[in-house]
Structure 1
């Protein structure tokens, strides 16, 4: 009779421990950190992002100038259109609002008043339109090169500022031609436009993020901007249109005067036009101008930076 031996079942081979893999990942992370490597496409910290953007300041300036030069390169009159376009817009608005609708009543120096409003509004309008397409319209550049994406909306706002400076030369000629004397108050244009540039750039960066996610927003923006323009006193005086005799509710005037477009337009009018007095300005107008610039500039920049790693993907 054979003896049956109970043999224990074979012991399975021990599973590979996860500890060595985790140790390897830790070692790789430490090695990458030691040599200054980071995850490709990761969003940098806010201070690092500001530093990177500052390092690209020469690129931003050159890119803005190149876009401005190329804008009318196919037209026979070339860069003359930088001045002619806002002047023609002002002429159309004068025909409709000044001649046909008589909104010039009660406004001294109506032509300088109108042209100043058109030029300053155009600066904001074009900055926001260009900012909306800053990412979605430059996907090839975004995907091909590594740089802080905020450089694009900043450069487009700078391009519009450069174009405005061309227009300001024509505006000064108009002011002198209509008998507006030069004054030291003209220097106030510099801080007013600087604050407007910060405001425009901040809103442009916010719209660039929205436009990158929803490209169709660029088709809606002209209607939004046109509505905003009609509420910004570009072609008429808000103080005259909302006085007690107009029948407009009393709260409408103060609300419209807090509109940032109104604030910057009226500041430039006050600086340039002798007949535009301080009592036509919103209360605490400089505080409003600074507040709008800080809120839009800082808020728009942070809002754009939050989605830095998503631009050009998908």
Structure 2
């Protein structure tokens, strides 16, 4: 077969090969596979951003440790010394540290995820990639930034007189539950934040309310005596996570409703978050 015949044959066969429609939405399984194949984006980018933060300050990366320490100090001064909300808590400083660190981790993730799409419109419109990687990068970055705070919390709990026990071995499971819960929350926040740009201004006020509804600075068992209201607190996923972490580190009481809520939220939130995000993925940032 001469060159012209081979060209004609290959040209004819080209019409038989189906074209790929880049505008069609892949199946959820294929979408997750593609996101996993490009997972380095959600790891490398937040790591680079983390190293770049505070580079223009004197203390530099030390601020990742100083910020939570100063935050805990302010709350301890106001609520532990001035107002004295430590009633019913034998180790109020440890109690406060655990609550503040875990609460602000979720708060930072949700608030940053709300703008993860709108702040990367240029990237979205330049190349095609699974946009779920943007909120995933937010979760990874904020979690990495809070590792020093978690280490600080462990050290502070030790200095308050607590000693490691077998319960401490369960703390990684609580942190894993919070991580997957944060991931699902980030997906929902990213989706709503794209449709409602004002969400980033609303979230700080919502989290201020949630701060007091999560028992961060006071013992729900000591201040809330109504059985119905205690069950209402157990519906709050952040309260459930904080209470389980306090049980691990401080031996605080935890009931079956809180345990069930922790498991349920950590399972359902990433599933619901993915469904909400995936249904609108192609319209995000378009």
Following TM superposition, by how much is the alpha carbon of 1:259 offset from its aligned partner in structure 2, in angstroms?
A: 0.8
Partner of 1:69: 51
Aligned length: 274
Following TM superposition, by how much is the alpha carbon of 1:237 offset from its aligned partner in structure 2, in angstroms?
A: 0.6
Take 1:162 and 1:187, find their aligned partners in 2: how far apart are those partners? Answer: 20
Pair 54,32 (structure 1): closer, same or farther in 2 beyond 3 Å:
farther
Is there any run of 5+ residues in structure 1 with no aligned partner, and where?
1-30, 244-248
Pair 151,286 (structure 1): closer, same or farther in 2 beyond 3 Å:
same
1:202 and 2:202 matched: no
Of stretches 148-157 and 79-88 in structure 1, the one that deviates more from structure 2 is: 79-88
The residue correspondences of 1:139-150 to structure 2 (distance < 5 A) are 139-150=121-132
Larger helix share, 1 or 2: 2
Following TM superposition, by how much is the alpha carbon of 1:74 offset from its aligned partner in structure 2, in angstroms?
A: 2.4
The ranges of structure 1 where at least 4 consecutive aligned residues each deviate by more than 6 angstroms after the TM superposition are: none
Of stretches 218-227 and 183-192 in structure 1, the one that deviates more from structure 2 is: 183-192
Pair 222,255 (structure 1): closer, same or farther in 2 beyond 3 Å:
same
Preserved contact between residue 87 and residue 222 of structure 2 (Cα < 8 Å): no
1:306 and 2:279 matched: yes
Pair 72,259 (structure 1): closer, same or farther in 2 beyond 3 Å:
same
Q: From the CA coordinates, give the structure whose radius of gyration is larger.
A: 1
Take 1:301 and 1:179, find their aligned partners in 2: how far apart are those partners? Answer: 42
Preserved contact between residue 83 and residue 166 of structure 1 (Cα < 8 Å): yes
Take 1:215 and 1:182, find their aligned partners in 2: how far apart are those partners? Answer: 45
The residue correspondences of 1:11-160 to structure 2 (distance < 5 A) are 34-35=17-18, 37-40=20-23, 42-160=24-142
The residue correspondences of 1:274-313 to structure 2 (distance < 5 A) are 274=251, 276=252, 280-313=253-286
Is there any run of 5+ residues in structure 2 with no aligned partner, and where?
1-13
Take 2:94 and 2:100, find their aligned partners in 1: how far apart are those partners? Answer: 10
Take 1:177 and 1:36, find their aligned partners in 2: how far apart are those partners? Answer: 65
Following TM superposition, by how much is the alpha carbon of 1:191 offset from its aligned partner in structure 2, in angstroms?
A: 0.7
Take 1:296 and 1:263, find their aligned partners in 2: how far apart are those partners? Answer: 14
* TM-score in terms of structure 1 length: 0.83
Preserved contact between residue 234 and residue 257 of structure 2 (Cα < 8 Å): no
2:229 aligned to which of 237, 252, 264: 252
Preserved contact between residue 202 and residue 298 of structure 1 (Cα < 8 Å): yes
**What SS does structure 2 have at the residue aligned with 1:34?**
coil
Take 1:82 and 1:159, find their aligned partners in 2: how far apart are those partners? Answer: 12
1:264 and 2:253 matched: no
Partner of 2:143: 161
Following TM superposition, by how much is the alpha carbon of 1:287 offset from its aligned partner in structure 2, in angstroms?
A: 2.8
* TM-score in terms of structure 2 length: 0.91
Q: Cα RMSD over matched residues?
A: 1.8
